[in-house]
């Protein structure tokens, strides 16, 4: 037999297997065929390259050679290596469209594989085929096989002013006869039809658990979930989809880092820097960590112009600072922070930086490589996606150094009575059954944002926010908090002296206008501003000038009727 599988074509395999009569002879041939595979680098045996759904461990990678794809693969089971060799020989050195059109099932019938493969082996073989086909599909729709340092975003093809029809909830008439004006987008966005349809389709057509079984539904659902992981990696310009961990949301992501990284690396007397702008989800986990480890939390103040105090931050950085946790955008003020500047300063001091991008991801380009963020977290429900799903991005070296936080299924490579071996990243941090459909639906959410373009999104928000600002700024007793419109997202936070914020929210609700009232899960910031609560109107690209006019007129009426 030839020394390289690339010279053992499918015609040769057909001919040689046709001369074999017994199952034992075919198994022996597969073992011999597996020995012809080219060496597979140990460094490539990562969780991201593993073929999920196989009884044995199987790893598969691909690279481009001109317009063609070349596959490399291996397995820890000798006979399975032979099956792998068949796939490598059948699919390598073909264009993506040729791979997708290749009659692989017909080949399996010709080789009479079903006559001696167990059901589990057959399911695993199908999973290998699905992995190959998914790679070909991705290559067919992309201009390059691997991510470069800068993600080239597709050109927007949807007008920001024509998208409202895509959001069914926005056309709702409320029980009081008022049409809904949804101005609570900083709390959660609404979902377009494409996201809703993908979730429905997943439940109706191919729902199954992922990363486990080798049957058709499991393979389809696993591929859809991993395609979504790749979509998120592209969207934030991660170096690899293995740096993307699915979590239950921003809060869960931060808690994961606090436990898996913080418990491992934070020591007694270490310092953690937070900012006065932080959401409770980026405060309480660090307070809990400090309590467990004896660390000290210090606070970067804000200035009178609602910006982070850079001079104070520089003075606070020292050798004892091990972590800086900061928001990219304030959920109360809308302030867009200079993340890269803060990251660079922290890195010079030897600190790791976690960026809370929950309020940034819906509005503007978030590039983890440009930021040089060590960790970055966000939630799906603020960016047109479902609730109950979030993302933790971590640099590969940091994730590799972190032990698993939760134990259970899916996060292991092997379990014995004596102990367990944890899986590679990202799966070691995804114990149990994931929010599968929610994860899948992140991809259409990302696709929708890209179809509009972040520049158009932020420009529309600022247009609406500025109009609302001008409409109420001169009203007596109205005080607003936040920087200039061109320094923030579409958030307008205010109070009306003499009227409780809850009452303001109630009066607006009677007019069909939904805003947020309270401390917005940012009590330290409200204390810094001398407030117990505030009102927050937050605009998004699907809001209209007519809704802003309704909001302004309603606030004017509230102020006029104040007692």
Place of tokens 């989800």: 281
CA dihedral 549, 550, 554, 556 (to 10 degrees): 10
Among the listed residues 54, 465, 521, 535, the single catalytic one is 521
Mean pLDDT in the chain?
91
pLDDT at 307: 98
Q: What is the pLDDT of residues 476-494, one digit of tens each?
A: 999 999 999 999 999 999 9
Residue 264: cis peptide before it, omega within 30 degrees of 0: no
Q: What is the pLDDT of residues 82-112, one digit of tens each?
A: 899 999 989 989 988 888 888 887 888 888 8
Token pair of 273, please? 């820097």
Q: Residue 494 CA to chain centroid, in angstroms? A: 32
pLDDT at 49: 84
Lowest average pLDDT, out of 52-56, 154-158, 385-389, goes to 52-56
Fold of domain 5-140: Sufe protein. Chain: A (3.90.1010)
Q: Compute the distance between CA of residue 364 and CA of residue 458 in angstroms, rounded to an integer.
A: 7
Enumerate the domain spans of the chain. 5-140, 243-433, 454-560
Cβ-based neighbour number of residue 94 at 10 Å: 18
Fold of domain 454-560: 3.90.1150
Confidence of residue 141 (pLDDT cuts 50, 70, 90): low
Mode of pairing for the β-strands spanning 478-481 and 491-496: antiparallel
Q: Are 8 and 33 spatial neighbours (Cβ–Cβ below 8 Å)? A: yes
Q: Quick check: 149 pLDDT over 80?
A: no
Three-class DSSP labels, 122-150 = HHHHHHHHHHHHHHHHHHHCCCCCCCCCC
Q: Quick check: 143 pLDDT over 60?
A: no
Q: Compute the distance between CA of residue 144 and CA of residue 166 in angstroms, rounded to an integer.
A: 31
Place of tokens 């499918």: 10
Which residue, among 557, 511, 509, has the nearest Cα to 535 in the 3D structure? 509
Q: Quick check: 438 pLDDT over 60?
A: yes
Whether 54 is catalytic: no
Q: Quick check: 146 pLDDT over 50?
A: no
Fold of domain 243-433: 3.40.640
Q: Compute the distance between CA of residue 226 and CA of residue 315 in angstroms, rounded to an integer.
A: 43
Mode of pairing for the β-strands spanning 513-514 and 181-182: parallel
């Amino acid at each position: 037999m030839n020394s390289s599988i690339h010279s053992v074509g499918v015609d040769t395999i057909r001919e040689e297997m046709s001369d074999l009569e017994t199952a034992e002879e075919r198994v022996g041939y597969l073992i011999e065929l597996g020995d012809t595979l080219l060496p597979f680098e140990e460094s490539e045996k990562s969780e991201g390259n593993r073929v999920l759904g196989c009884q044995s461990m199987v790893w598969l990678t691909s690279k481009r050679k001109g317009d063609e794809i070349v596959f490399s693969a291996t397995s820890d089971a000798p006979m399975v290596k032979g099956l792998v060799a068949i796939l490598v020989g059948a699919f390598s050195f073909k264009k993506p469209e040729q791979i997708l059109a290749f009659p692989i099932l017909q080949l399996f019938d010709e080789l009479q594989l079903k006559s001696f493969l167990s059901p589990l082996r057959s399911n695993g073989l199908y999973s290998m085929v699905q992995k190959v086909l998914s790679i070909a599909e991705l290559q067919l729709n992309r201009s390059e096989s691997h991510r470069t340092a800068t993600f080239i975003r597709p050109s927007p093809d949807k007008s920001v002013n024509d998208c409202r029809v895509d959001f069914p909830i926005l056309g709702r008439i409320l029980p009081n006869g008022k049409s809904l004006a949804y101005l609570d987008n900083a709390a959660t966005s609404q979902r377009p039809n494409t996201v809703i349809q993908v979730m429905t389709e997943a439940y109706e057509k191919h729902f199954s658990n992922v990363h486990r079984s080798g049957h058709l539904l499991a393979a389809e659902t696993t591929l859809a979930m991993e395609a979504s992981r790749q979509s998120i990696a592209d969207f934030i310009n991660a170096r690899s989809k293995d740096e993307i961990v699915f979590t239950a949301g921003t809060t869960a992501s931060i808690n994961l880092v606090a436990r898996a990284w913080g418990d491992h690396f934070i020591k007694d007397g270490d310092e953690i820097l937070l900012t006065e702008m932080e959401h409770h989800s980026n405060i309480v986990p660090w307070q809990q960590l400090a309590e467990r480890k004896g660390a000290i939390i210090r606070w970067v103040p804000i200035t009178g112009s609602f910006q982070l105090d850079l001079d104070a931050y520089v003075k606070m950085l020292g050798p004892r600072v091990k972590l800086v946790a900061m928001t990219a955008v304030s959920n109360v003020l809308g302030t867009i922070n200079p993340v890269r500047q803060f990251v660079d300063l922290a890195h010079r001091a030897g600190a790791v930086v976690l960026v809370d991008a929950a309020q940034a991801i819906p509005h503007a380009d978030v590039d983890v490589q440009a930021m040089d963020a060590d960790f970055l977290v966000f939630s799906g429900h603020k960016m047109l996606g479902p609730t109950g799903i979030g993302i933790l991005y971590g640099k590969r070296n940091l994730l590799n150094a972190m032990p698993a936080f939760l134990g259970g299924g899916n996060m292991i490579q092997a379990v014995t009575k004596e102990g367990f071996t944890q899986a590679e990243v990202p799966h070691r941090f995804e114990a149990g059954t994931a929010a599968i459909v929610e994860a899948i639906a992140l991809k259409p959410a990302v696709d929708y944002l890209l179809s509009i373009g972040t520049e158009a999104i932020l420009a529309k928000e600022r247009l609406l926010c500025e109009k609302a600002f001008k409409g109420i700024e001169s009203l007596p007793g109205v005080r607003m908090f936040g920087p200039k419109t061109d320094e923030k997202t579409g958030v307008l936070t205010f109070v009306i002296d003499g009227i409780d914020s809850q009452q303001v929210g109630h009066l607006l609700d009677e007019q069909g206008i939904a805003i947020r009232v309270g401390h917005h899960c940012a009590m330290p910031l409200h204390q810094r501003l001398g407030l117990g609560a505030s009102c927050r109107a937050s605009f998004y690209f699907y809001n209209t000038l007519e809704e802003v006019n309704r909001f302004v007129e309603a606030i004017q009426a509230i102020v006029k009727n104040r007692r």
